[in-house]
A and B are shown apart, each in its own frame.
Chain A
């Protein structure tokens, strides 16, 4: 096992533990927890047995399994960035409306005194 594999393994297990912790703290729902665990254990499996993915790399015309993982990781990061962007925009809007609503309620109380 190479050093990079060891680092990837430690990272995978750490992230799996973190997902479990947040599931227990009820930050993640069961569905979200299963989804994230699948991702981390997929990473662990790919780290331990990179040769098992040869049939995919051959079909896609990619030489090394590492390249395949890099591409998948890049796609996941892009998807998450877009998802986070949407979530943050939506949250900002909700927050702004809520704060303004409350402030205008306060204003109505003042003028109706």
Chain B
């Protein structure tokens, strides 16, 4: 019986496939290095060039043959690029989808802890959030905005995610089918949490290191205000 079990396992064991999705917009300086580093920790890397005006797409296409590069003909926003990437990852048969930013603010060395979080828990985990360290390296406005959004989401949706705006997160492809968002912009991170709460998906958090580069890129105070009103809309409508 044991031998049959082992044989069955050997014949039909399918290793879990992890695909990383990296949305990129005008990130030609960093995207190649990020994608190559990420490739060491996942089965496949999918970069979605969201209509960049620099040579992000051409660079990856010519210098990184082991990375799949997709291109939006026009710039649609981070949420849209992420959705295209995740749709493609599901088509490619991913079990786990890891999302991270192209500006090298996330350390790909943390990816194994995301995968471990899926497997290590006693109960099933659908979504894993990367949590940045809230120290003096994080810009003050970002820190305050993040905290405020975290409290607001906790009050309205009863989910406590300590870093609501971190783009470094992972989910199972089954969970993605329920999370599939509508937001095209930076509201995507918040919408994922809201949908996760609505579908009662299980989640956990892992600590990540972050390097802050350009304060004019990424989520700004204006995006924070937009996200605030979006949260109200998701709650009330």
Within 8 A of A (CB), among B106-126: none
Name the residue of chain B whose CB is nearest to the CB of A107: B88
Residues of B in contact with A (beta carbons under 8 Å apart): 48, 68, 70-74, 76, 80, 83-84, 87-88, 91-92, 184
A99 at the interface (CB under 8 A from B): yes
* Count, A-B residue pairs, CB within 8 A: 41
Contact A95 B48 (CB under 8 A): no
**Chain A residues whose C-beta falls within 8 Å of the C-beta of B73 in the assembled complex:** 99, 102-103
- Majority SS at the chain A contact face: helix
**Residues of A within 8 A of B (CB-CB), count:** 13
Contact A100 B74 (CB under 8 A): no
**Chain A residues whose C-beta falls within 8 Å of the C-beta of B84 in the assembled complex:** 100, 103-104
Residues of A in contact with B (beta carbons under 8 Å apart): 92, 95-96, 99-100, 102-104, 106-108, 110-111
- Majority SS at the chain B contact face: mixed
**Chain A residues whose C-beta falls within 8 Å of the C-beta of B92 in the assembled complex:** 107, 111
**Chain A residues whose C-beta falls within 8 Å of the C-beta of B74 in the assembled complex:** 95, 99
**Chain B residues whose C-beta falls within 8 Å of the C-beta of A100 in the assembled complex:** 72, 80, 83-84, 87
Cα distance A44–B74 in the bound complex, in angstroms: 42
Contact B80 A96 (CB under 8 A): yes
Cα distance A16–B73 in the bound complex, in angstroms: 37
Contact A107 B72 (CB under 8 A): no
For the complex of A and B, 10 pairs with smallest distance between CB atoms: A107-B88, A103-B70, A100-B84, A99-B72, A103-B84, A107-B70, A99-B73, A96-B76, A103-B72, A96-B80
Min C-beta distance of A102 to chain B, whole Å: 7
Name the residue of chain A whose CB is nearest to the CB of B48: A103
**Chain A residues whose C-beta falls within 8 Å of the C-beta of B91 in the assembled complex:** 104, 107-108, 111
Cα distance A107–B92 in the bound complex, in angstroms: 9
Min C-beta distance of A43 to chain B, whole Å: 37
**Chain B residues whose C-beta falls within 8 Å of the C-beta of A108 in the assembled complex:** 91
